[in-house]
């Protein structure tokens, strides 16, 4: 099971344009990351707050709804976050490449 | 002091008053200022003893009379105003009994709170039985230290009644606030009066037994769990307590009482006027006694206040309500257990961390050691924790989504083209894309001109922009590299799911086999991979249960997989069936037979044709049961070639046609089907007869690799074979209707387009051709040449879009978009195509 997960993570990382992949837990401690620690921690902390806010927004409108995926498209690249109660899966991709 | 003298106090009561004077002088500057002592049932007794003590030990410090057990010590409430009380006798607990004996009528009052705990106020001063004398300070200190005694001493009360000169000696008032009533009554008042009033006081004091005083609860150790326990605070509305009710003194003029009130007012006015000089009213003065107020200070622990703010959002409330509902339902499920297990780990970890932080803060010394230990602990916890996360199902799903999203980003233009959406241009277009866009624009412009087919024909030869196949992407990964694509099949309900079978056709070229399920959303990695040692020759998705995938192998085995699950093990396998196929299964198809031969309702059966010459019907009851539909017997090869020379097998197109080379069920009448054989014959068979053919179509000279009915025109079918030819047949005519020999290479696969009855595609070894019979029956409309070394082996149209899937011998399934196709004409008109074809035939 873990092997599959590792495989998939590796595959994701090897896709075109992917800059970094990271999995952080709810406290912001990285579990798997392909970037350096400081960047990871920075991303984790900032995205965690944003995810909370996004989730709060979604649920305020309809409490039965919940946030499943978050994509932030910027000029340089796209940050994709799959949030969960216990972890954050973050992938940064440069799609234009 | 002499406790023993208490008993003798009574008879000396009479003298008490006189005797009192002496100590008064000693202790009070102004006798008048002596505060009256609060009455206690033993008040009289006290006084007597007081007098006694004064008489006997004038030099002694004040000794105070402690009330007996349970006697109302609440006498401090400023009860007696006319007394001057200083009791000096100190009652020792051991004396209680003696006292009680002497005064049996004295009630012992005990205080109990709601729970029945005895909370009678304890005396604040417990005299040391050994020391007879006690200075005021000592008294105070000993009083402070006394705890746990059962009776309350009026010591403090009496303290309060000491005159100001004595007050200075006492730095604390022990029993709380008490109003000391300083009587202006001189000490000359007889004790007798006091005695009389004592009984009165007694009654009054009994009323104070209602006072509840809570004893301090023993300190309990608060554990960490207690701190983290969720304490439910339930706020409920209490009944309304009225503290103050001031009835209105104004009445509306219009109310009912108005008249009465007005009348009364008038009466009162009259009365007042009459009052002056009236005999009925007499003036009389009275003096009221004001009690002397006393200030009392109490010190308590600092009240710690904490501010806590929380934003209650709509979802927060919703969650709380839901949680309460879940708890109240108390359904026994395994999921709460598992979720609690999952939660236990993070909780433990949090607790562990919390514990570690407190450790850090509490011990300053050896901080480094502790920190190291903590860090180690954190890492351990982390590892356990991270594994939990990585193994969780949600993580898997999130990974899946993430990959698809990435794919969406990478393949966005291609997928958009596939789905026939406008292609989104990136803000920074790359150079080659730009050219492509321009080319597209040109094509678009010229398209309206191509309305008429003749023009199209001309244009096709002249202009560079014509109908073409544009390669969008290809399904491939390193697993499939080098394998030969042998079959393609769409899922019946999910149009994005594609099953691909990989396996070599030839017997000598047998390698391992692979059946993969690909999704359009992820062209770089298959969703499911089913590996086998034997090459896969046929795949098909079920109609009734779209999660079942039937896979036919080169060794004749048929396996059914459930693609919903992640397991690689087939659900059913025919390898142990006695009637399994002995040769490669060249085609599989799920057929829904209504009014089948068995008379049941629409039941789905799996039909397979294989090189051992049998067309079998497989039914899933408890296992795979096989019935032979037909045995292809022929004078020539028909059957029983163990796949030796069979080169290619094509598989079923999902849409309506039964794909080729093996068989094709009539789209309307599922009883009739065509079977193509290795001899080159196409037999029309019926399910009702398994011995004879209804018809035989002879036209091919080589093995027929594919037969497929026209989706619109149900009398026409198409076949391709190894003799380089593609033939169109009419059902009634056993002679070929139209034949094409475009190249000198084996045609592996043909397929009708789902959009038009005139268009079909054929895959040669090195070309993919799109034919449009409306335009020309001589030349294909589009020809797409393969890279050298690669053979196109399978072909499949996509249903909703203008796309074509082509599998090749390198393990790639390429997706091509048909661009600039001539607008589809009426495809349902059967007459047209036949007429057109006949016309074209004549022109040939």
pLDDT digits (tens, 9 = 90+) for B401-410: 888 888 877 8
Which are the contacts of B824, defined by CB distance < 8 A and separation ≥ 6? B755, B756, B759
* Facing B391 at nearest CB: one of A1, A56, A68: A1
Q: Which residues of B touch A26 (CB under 8 A)?
A: 346
* Facing A56 at nearest CB: one of B313, B389, B395: B313
* Distance from the A28 Cα atom to the nearest Cα atom in chain B, whole angstroms: 11
Co-location of B569 and B658 in the same domain? no
Tell me the two tokens of residue B519.
Answer: 């999704």
Could you tell me which residue, B429 or B484, shows the higher pLDDT?
B484
Q: Is the pLDDT of residue B278 over 50?
A: yes
* Facing B406 at nearest CB: one of A4, A12, A64: A12
Q: Which residues of B touch A12 (CB under 8 A)?
A: 399, 402-403, 406
Q: Choose among B70, B71, B68: nearest CA to B3.
A: B68
Residue B660 lies in a domain: yes
* Of B541, B572, B590, the domain-final residue: B590
User: What confidence score (pLDDT) does residue B365 get?
Assistant: 43
CA distances from B289 to B178, B184, B189, B541, B737 (A): 17, 9, 16, 107, 134
Interface check A91 vs B, CB under 8 A: yes
* Distance from the A79 Cα atom to the nearest Cα atom in chain B, whole angstroms: 10
Q: Place B373 in a pLDDT band, splitting at 50, 70 and 90.
A: low
Using an 8 Å Cβ cutoff, are B542 and B548 in contact? yes
Q: Which residues of A touch B405 (CB under 8 A)?
A: 69, 71, 80, 91
Could you tell me which residue, B749 or B623, shows the higher pLDDT?
B749
Q: Which residues of B touch A29 (CB under 8 A)?
A: 382
Interface check A56 vs B, CB under 8 A: yes
User: What confidence score (pLDDT) does residue B218 get?
Assistant: 58
User: What confidence score (pLDDT) does residue B106 get?
Assistant: 53
Domain that holds residue B685: 654-822+829-843
Q: Which residues of B touch A82 (CB under 8 A)?
A: 398-399, 401-402
Residue B271 lies in a domain: no
Using an 8 Å Cβ cutoff, are B499 and B546 in contact? no
Co-location of B667 and B533 in the same domain? no
Using a 10 angstrom Cβ sphere, with 0-12 exposed, 13-18 middle and 19 or more buried, the burial of residue B600 is exposed
Q: Is the pLDDT of residue A50 over 90?
A: yes
- Give chain B's domain count: 2
Tens-digit pLDDT profile for residues B547-605:
888 888 888 888 888 888 878 888 888 777 777 777 788 888 888 876 545 555 667 78
* Distance from the B321 Cα atom to the nearest Cα atom in chain A, whole angstroms: 11
User: What confidence score (pLDDT) does residue A6 get?
Assistant: 85
* Facing B314 at nearest CB: one of A9, A63, A95: A63
Tell me the two tokens of residue B329.
Answer: 């339902």
Co-location of B558 and B693 in the same domain? no
User: What confidence score (pLDDT) does residue B330 get?
Assistant: 63
Q: Place B131 in a pLDDT band, splitting at 50, 70 and 90.
A: low
Which are the contacts of B521, defined by CB distance < 8 A and separation ≥ 6? B404, B407, B408, B415, B496
Is A15 in contact with B346 (Cβ distance < 8 A)? no
Is B406 in contact with A1 (Cβ distance < 8 A)? no
Which are the contacts of B785, defined by CB distance < 8 A and separation ≥ 6? B766, B767
Q: Which residue of A has its CA nearest to B425?
A: A96
Q: Which residues of A touch B430 (CB under 8 A)?
A: 96
DSSP 3-state of B497: strand
Residue B832 backbone phi and psi in degrees, to 5: -55, -50
Co-location of B674 and B562 in the same domain? no
Is B399 in contact with A15 (Cβ distance < 8 A)? no
Is A9 in contact with B399 (Cβ distance < 8 A)? yes
Residue B370 lies in a domain: no
Q: Which residues of B touch A52 (CB under 8 A)?
A: none
Tell me the two tokens of residue B442.
Answer: 């040109």
d(CA B804, CA B488) in angstroms, rounded, equals 11
Chains A–B, number of C-beta pairs less than 8 Å apart: 101
d(CA A28, CA A21) in angstroms, rounded, equals 14
Residue B479 lies in a domain: yes
Q: Choose among B270, B606, B286, B320: nearest CA to A59.
A: B320
Is B385 in contact with A82 (Cβ distance < 8 A)? no
Residue B150 lies in a domain: no
Tell me the average pLDDT across B163-178: 42
Q: Which residues of A touch B403 (CB under 8 A)?
A: 8, 11-12, 15
Which are the contacts of B687, defined by CB distance < 8 A and separation ≥ 6? B593, B596, B597, B617, B629, B670, B671, B672, B673
Q: Is the pLDDT of residue B311 over 90?
A: no
Q: Choose among B279, B783, B402, B284: nearest CA to A89.
A: B402
Interface check A74 vs B, CB under 8 A: no
Is A1 in contact with B394 (Cβ distance < 8 A)? no
Q: B214-222 long-range contacts, Cβ below 8 Å, gap at least 24?
A: B214/B113, B214/B119, B215/B117, B215/B119
Q: Is the pLDDT of residue B651 over 60?
A: no
User: What confidence score (pLDDT) does residue B747 get?
Assistant: 86
Using a 10 angstrom Cβ sphere, with 0-12 exposed, 13-18 middle and 19 or more buried, the burial of residue B406 is buried
Q: Which residue of B has its CA nearest to A53?
A: B313
- Residue from B356, B390, B424, B428 to probe the interface with A (highest A Cβ count within 10 Å): B390
DSSP 3-state of A41: helix
Is A64 in contact with B318 (Cβ distance < 8 A)? yes
Residue B703 lies in a domain: yes
d(CA B337, CA B829) in angstroms, rounded, equals 63
Co-location of B700 and B581 in the same domain? no
Co-location of B582 and B700 in the same domain? no
Residue B387 lies in a domain: no
Is B390 in contact with A68 (Cβ distance < 8 A)? no
d(CA B358, CA B373) in angstroms, rounded, equals 13
Q: Choose among B351, B347, B352: nearest CA to B388.
A: B347
Q: Are strands B749-752 and B736-740 parallel, antiparallel or unpaired?
A: unpaired
Q: Is the pLDDT of residue B348 over 70?
A: no
Q: Which residue of A has its CA nearest to B353?
A: A27
Co-location of B666 and B744 in the same domain? yes
CATH number at residue B743: 2.130.10.10
Q: Choose among B10, B816, B239, B213: nearest CA to B472.
A: B816
Could you tell me which residue, B793 or B576, shows the higher pLDDT?
B793
Residue A67 neighbours by CB distance under 10 Å: 18
Half-sphere exposure of B241 (CA within 13 A, CB side): 3
DSSP 3-state of B375: helix
Q: Which residue of B has its CA nearest to A24?
A: B386
DSSP 3-state of B539: strand
User: What confidence score (pLDDT) does residue B832 get?
Assistant: 54
Interface check A72 vs B, CB under 8 A: no
Q: Which residues of A touch B346 (CB under 8 A)?
A: 26, 86
Tell me the two tokens of residue B617.
Answer: 């019907």
Residue A70 neighbours by CB distance under 10 Å: 18
Query: What is the torsional sign of CA B305, B311, B316, B318?
Result: positive
d(CA B400, CA B519) in angstroms, rounded, equals 12
* Facing B525 at nearest CB: one of A11, A25, A82: A11
Residues comprising chain A, all counted: 97
d(CA B3, CA B10) in angstroms, rounded, equals 13
DSSP line for B407-456: HHHHTHHHHHHHTT-PPPPPSS--HHHHHHHHHHHHHHHHGGGGGSHHHH
Q: Choose among A52, A84, A60, A64: nearest CA to B312.
A: A60
d(CA B182, CA B588) in angstroms, rounded, equals 115
Using an 8 Å Cβ cutoff, are B497 and B516 in contact? no
d(CA B478, CA B422) in angstroms, rounded, equals 31
* Distance from the A46 Cα atom to the nearest Cα atom in chain B, whole angstroms: 19
b/e map B656-671, b = 16+ CB within 10 Å: bbbbbbbbbbbbeebb
Tell me the two tokens of residue B345.
Answer: 């780990």
Using an 8 Å Cβ cutoff, are B834 and B774 in contact? no
User: What confidence score (pLDDT) does residue A21 get?
Assistant: 92
Q: Which residues of B touch A63 (CB under 8 A)?
A: 314-315, 317-319
Tens-digit pLDDT profile for residues B702-714:
888 888 888 888 8
Is A60 in contact with B315 (Cβ distance < 8 A)? yes
The partner residues of B607 in beta bridges, in order of sequence, read B589, B617
Co-location of B583 and B700 in the same domain? no
d(CA B524, CA B516) in angstroms, rounded, equals 12
The CATH label, of 3.40.50.410, 1.10.540.10, 3.40.350.10, 3.30.450.30, for the domain at A1-93 is 3.30.450.30
Q: Is the pLDDT of residue A94 over 80?
A: yes
Using an 8 Å Cβ cutoff, are B603 and B593 in contact? yes
Find the angle CA(B517)-CA(B518)-CA(B519) to the nearest 5 degrees. 130
Using an 8 Å Cβ cutoff, are B389 and A87 in contact? yes
DSSP line for B165-181: HHHTT----SS------
Is A89 in contact with B399 (Cβ distance < 8 A)? yes
User: What confidence score (pLDDT) does residue B307 get?
Assistant: 92
B-facing residues of A in 24-53 (CB < 8 A) are 25-26, 29, 31-32
Q: Which residues of B touch A31 (CB under 8 A)?
A: 382, 385-386, 389-390
Residue B729 lies in a domain: yes
Tell me the two tokens of residue B401.
Answer: 């989504």
Least confident of A51-65, B75-89, B395-409: B75-89
Q: Choose among B185, B161, B159, B148: nearest CA to B32.
A: B185
Tell me the two tokens of residue B301.
Answer: 């622990």
Tell me the two tokens of residue B453.
Answer: 């087919």
Q: Place B67 in a pLDDT band, splitting at 50, 70 and 90.
A: very low
Co-location of B568 and B679 in the same domain? no
Co-location of B718 and B808 in the same domain? yes
DSSP 3-state of B106: coil
Tell me the two tokens of residue B596.
Answer: 């089948």
CA distances from B174 to B71, B74, B121, B124 (A): 18, 13, 12, 7
Tell me the average pLDDT across B667-678: 82
- Residue from B348, B351, B380, B395 to probe the interface with A (highest A Cβ count within 10 Å): B395
Is A31 in contact with B313 (Cβ distance < 8 A)? no
Tell me the two tokens of residue B151.
Answer: 């009776």
Q: Which residue of A has its CA nearest to B385?
A: A25
3-state DSSP helix/strand/coil % of chain A, to nearest 5:
40, 30, 30
Q: Which residues of A touch B388 (CB under 8 A)?
A: 86
Q: Which residues of A touch B317 (CB under 8 A)?
A: 63
């Amino acid at each position: 099971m873990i092997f599959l997960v590792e495989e998939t993570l590796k595959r994701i990382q090897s896709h075109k344009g992917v800059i970094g992949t990271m999995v952080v837990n709810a406290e912001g401690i990285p579990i798997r990351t392909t970037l350096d620690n400081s960047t990871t921690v920075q991303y984790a902390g900032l995205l965690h707050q944003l995810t909370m806010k996004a989730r709060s927004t979604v649920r305020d409108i309809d409490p039965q709804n919940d946030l499943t995926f978050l994509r932030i498209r910027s000029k340089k690249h796209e940050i994709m976050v799959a949030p969960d109660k216990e972890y954050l899966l973050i992938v940064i991709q440069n799609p234009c490449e | 002091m002499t406790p023993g003298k208490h008993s003798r106090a009574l008879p000396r009561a009479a003298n008490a008053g006189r005797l009192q004077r002496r100590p008064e002088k000693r202790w009070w500057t102004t006798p008048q200022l002596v505060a009256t002592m609060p009455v206690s049932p033993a008040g009289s007794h006290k006084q007597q003893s007081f007098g006694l003590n004064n008489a006997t030990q004038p030099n002694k410090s004040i000794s105070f009379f402690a009330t007996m057990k349970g006697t109302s010590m609440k006498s401090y409430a400023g009860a007696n105003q006319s007394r001057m009380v200083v009791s000096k006798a100190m009652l020792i607990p051991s004396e209680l009994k003696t006292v009680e004996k002497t005064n049996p009528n004295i009630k012992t009052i005990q205080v109990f709170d709601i729970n029945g705990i005895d909370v009678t106020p304890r005396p604040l001063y417990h005299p040391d039985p050994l020391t007879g004398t006690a200075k005021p300070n000592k008294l105070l200190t000993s009083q402070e230290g006394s705890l746990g005694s059962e009776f309350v001493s009026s010591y403090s009360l009496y303290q309060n009644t000491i005159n100001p000169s004595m007050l200075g000696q006492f730095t604390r008032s022990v029993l709380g606030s008490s109003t000391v009533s300083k009587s202006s009554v001189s000490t000359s008042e007889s004790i007798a009066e006091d005695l009389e009033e004592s009984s009165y006081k007694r009654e009054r004091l009994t009323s104070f037994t209602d006072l509840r005083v809570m004893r301090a609860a023993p300190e309990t150790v608060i554990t960490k769990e207690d701190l983290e326990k969720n304490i439910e605070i339930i706020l409920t509305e209490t009944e309304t307590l009225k503290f103050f009710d001031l009835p209105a003194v104004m009445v509306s003029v219009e109310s009912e009482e108005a008249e009465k009130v007005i009348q009364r007012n008038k009466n009162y006015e009259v009365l007042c006027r009459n009052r002056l000089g009236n005999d009925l009213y007499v003036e009389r003065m009275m003096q009221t006694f004001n009690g002397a107020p006393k200030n009392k200070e109490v010190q308590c622990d600092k009240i710690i206040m904490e501010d806590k703010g929380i934003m209650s959002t709509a979802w927060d409330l919703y969650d709380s309500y839901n949680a309460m509902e879940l708890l109240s339902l108390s359904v026994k499920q395994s999921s709460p257990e598992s979720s609690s297990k999952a939660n236990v780990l993070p909780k433990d970890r949090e607790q562990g961390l919390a514990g570690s932080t407190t450790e850090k803060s509490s011990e300053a010394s050896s901080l480094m050691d502790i920190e190291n230990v903590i860090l180690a602990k954190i890492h351990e916890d982390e590892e356990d924790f991270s594994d939990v996360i990585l193994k969780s199902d949600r993580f898997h799903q999130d990974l899946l989504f993430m990959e698809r999203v990435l794919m969406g980003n990478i393949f966005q233009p291609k997928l958009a083209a596939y789905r026939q959406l406008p292609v989104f241009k990136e803000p920074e277009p790359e150079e080659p894309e730009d050219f492509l866009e321009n080319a597209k624009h040109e094509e678009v412009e010229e398209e309206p001109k191509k309305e008429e087919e003749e023009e199209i024909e001309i244009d096709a030869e002249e202009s560079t922009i014509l109908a073409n196949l544009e390669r969008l992407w290809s399904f491939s990964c390193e697993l499939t590299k080098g394998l030969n694509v042998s079959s393609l099949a769409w899922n019946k309900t999910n149009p994005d799911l594609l099953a691909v079978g990989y396996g070599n056709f030839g017997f000598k070229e047998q390698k391992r086999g692979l059946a993969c399920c690909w999704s359009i959303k992820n062209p770089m990695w298959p969703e499911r991979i089913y590996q086998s040692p034997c090459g896969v020759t046929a795949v098909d998705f079920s109609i009734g249960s779209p999660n079942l995938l039937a896979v036919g192998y080169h060794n004749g085995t048929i396996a059914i997989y459930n693609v919903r699950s992640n397991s690689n093990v087939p659900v059913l396998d025919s390898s142990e069936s006695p009637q399994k196929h002995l040769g490669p299964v060249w085609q599989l198809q799920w057929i829904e037979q209504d009014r089948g031969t068995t008379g049941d309702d629409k039941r789905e059966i799996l039909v397979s044709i294989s090189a051992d010459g049998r067309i079998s019907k497989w039914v899933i009851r408890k296992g795979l049961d096989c019935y032979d539909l037909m045995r292809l017997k022929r004078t020539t090869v028909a059957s029983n070639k163990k796949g030796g020379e069979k080169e290619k097998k094509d598989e079923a197109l999902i849409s309506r046609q039964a794909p080729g080379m093996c068989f094709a069920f009539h789209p309307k009448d599922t009883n009739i089907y065509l079977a193509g054989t290795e001899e080159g014959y196409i037999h029309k068979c019926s399910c009702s007869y398994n011995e004879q053919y209804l018809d035989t179509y002879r036209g091919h000279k080589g093995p027929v690799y594919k037969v497929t009915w026209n989706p619109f025109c149900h009398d026409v079918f198409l076949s391709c074979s190894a003799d380089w030819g593609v033939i169109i047949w009419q059902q009634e005519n056993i002679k070929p209707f139209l034949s094409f020999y475009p190249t000198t290479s084996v045609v592996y696969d043909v397929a009708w387009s789902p959009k038009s009855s005139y268009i079909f595609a054929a895959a040669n070894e090195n070309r993919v051709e799109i034919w449009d019979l409306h335009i020309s029956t001589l030349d294909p409309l589009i020809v797409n040449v393969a890279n050298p070394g690669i053979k196109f082996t399978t072909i499949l149209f996509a249903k909703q879009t203008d796309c074509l899937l082509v599998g090749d011998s390198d393990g790639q399934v390429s997706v091509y978009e048909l661009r600039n196709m001539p607008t589809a004409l009426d495809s349902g008109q059967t007459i047209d195509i036949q007429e057109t074809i006949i016309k074209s035939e004549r022109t040939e």
